[in-house]
Amino acid sequence: MINANHYRYLRYVLLVNMIAALVPATSVKGRVNDPLLHATWWRLDQHSAILVVCAATLLGSALVFATTRTDLRKWWAFVGCGIVTGDFPATFYLAAAPDGTQLPLADMYFTGTFCGIIAGFVLNGLFGKRKPGAAK
């Protein structure tokens, strides 16, 4: 059963995952450098990094939730979740950007992996030793 303590940890997980995805997404700054500027399906006025960071945050939080629900509380599991979250923006732009778009993929993958490792250790600090409470 989810109580108020679980929601507090959910906020921390969302914040850590958002930061892990936001840092590599800042490699494509400005509207003129938006990889989805000429995409046929992205017609919003906002920069596509909003979509990418939100999707990465939700994916990373779902991975952490699934990891803790299956009681896989090892440091490498949380680091893996962080790396997936950090590398999501580069992978998304690689798959979704139209051909011929110049992307700083090496920089995005490097910073995404680095931030994902840091986020994984932070998440391990939050959840690694914490055991789920007994049902009351």
- Contact criterion met (CB below 8 Å) for 52 and 88: yes
Question: Stretch 53-78: mean pLDDT, rounded?
Answer: 91
Residue 29 pLDDT greater than 70, yes or no:
yes
Confidence check: pLDDT of 26 > 60: yes
pLDDT at 2 over 60: no
pLDDT tens sequence across 87-125? 999 999 888 888 777 888 899 999 999 999 999 999 999
